[in-house]
Structure 1
Amino acid sequence: MPSPRQQVGQQGEDSAVALLAVHGLPTLARNYRCRMGEIDIILLDGETLVFVEVRQRTHDRQGGAAASVTARKQRRLIRAAEYFLLRNPQHGLRPCRFDVIALDGHTSADWIRDAFRVPSP
């Protein structure tokens, strides 16, 4: 049985998937887990493969939902996305981007497209 925190997180992800579906973006995977980390939602936006992190905060004492996607979290998401691409070579040549859907309190979702990029080597 999921904890109350997990239930709230699941509701946030459900809201994010509904928002993305309204915009006609088909979901390829949800809660993709690998040894490198987890990606909440993977979808296609035209030919672009999009890795979405959903963050939810009931208060902004520590900066709000969007601010919680730290550099460390970004690195974990990038590593998980790289692993996904290795395991799914059919998507290997697609352009990719990282989006964040921030849910703060009871306000509407803030969809941040191209929220961060993979650093150049």
Structure 2
Amino acid sequence: MSKSTGQFYEQQALVFLQQQGLQLLQQNYSCRFGEIDLVMREQQCLVFVEVKFRRSNSFGGAAAAVTQAKQQKLTRAASFYLQQAGQQHCRFDVVAITEQPADICWIKNAFAGTAN
């Protein structure tokens, strides 16, 4: 997948989440531990969002692409972000987007991390 394709679907996820009432704090947050696609706020909770796109649900679909290793990398990056922000309450969401059939699946609290 090209970088522009990834950016397109991250933007789709962002618009979707904003329609659900979340507020964008940072997009493509990057640190030495990894990158977080979207950092958002829902009321008093920081929400770290991983956006995954797949053309179809074959091979497990988009949500299955958030592997244990990816979760650990996200958790480390989020922990670093939380230290900088002085915030503690957070959750990890996944927005899985599938092209065929067209679908956006928002998985709240998709996995637990040590940053929680």
Q: Same fold (TM over 0.5)?
A: yes
CA root-mean-square deviation: 1.3
Q: Identify the match of residue 113 of structure 2 among 86, 111, 118.
A: 118
Q: Where does 1:55-66 land on structure 2 (aligned, <5 Å)?
A: 55-66=52-63
User: CA-to-partner distance for each residue in 1:53-109, whole Å, 9 max, x for gaps?
Assistant: 0000113332110000000000000000001011222xx23x210000000124121
Q: Identify the match of residue 92 of structure 2 among 73, 98, 103.
A: 98
Q: Identify the match of residue 38 of structure 1 among 15, 35, 40.
A: 35
Partner of 1:74: 71
Question: Which residues of structure 2 form unaligned runs of 5+?
Answer: none
Partner of 2:46: 49
Question: Which residues of structure 1 form unaligned runs of 5+?
Answer: none
In structure 2, C-alpha distance between the alignment counterparts of 1:67 and 1:112, rounded to whole Å: 12
TM-score, normalised to structure 1, is 0.88
Which structure has the larger Rg over C-alpha atoms? 1
Give secondary structure in 1 for the equivalent of 2:103: coil
Q: Percent identity?
A: 42
Number of equivalenced pairs: 113
Higher relative strand content:
2
The reply to whether residue 26 of structure 1 matches residue 23 of structure 2 is yes
List structure 1 segments (4+ residues) > 3 angstroms apart after TM superposition. Answer: none
User: CA-to-partner distance for each residue in 1:23-66, whole Å, 9 max, x for gaps?
Assistant: 12110000000010000000111111100000001133321100
Partner of 2:6: 9
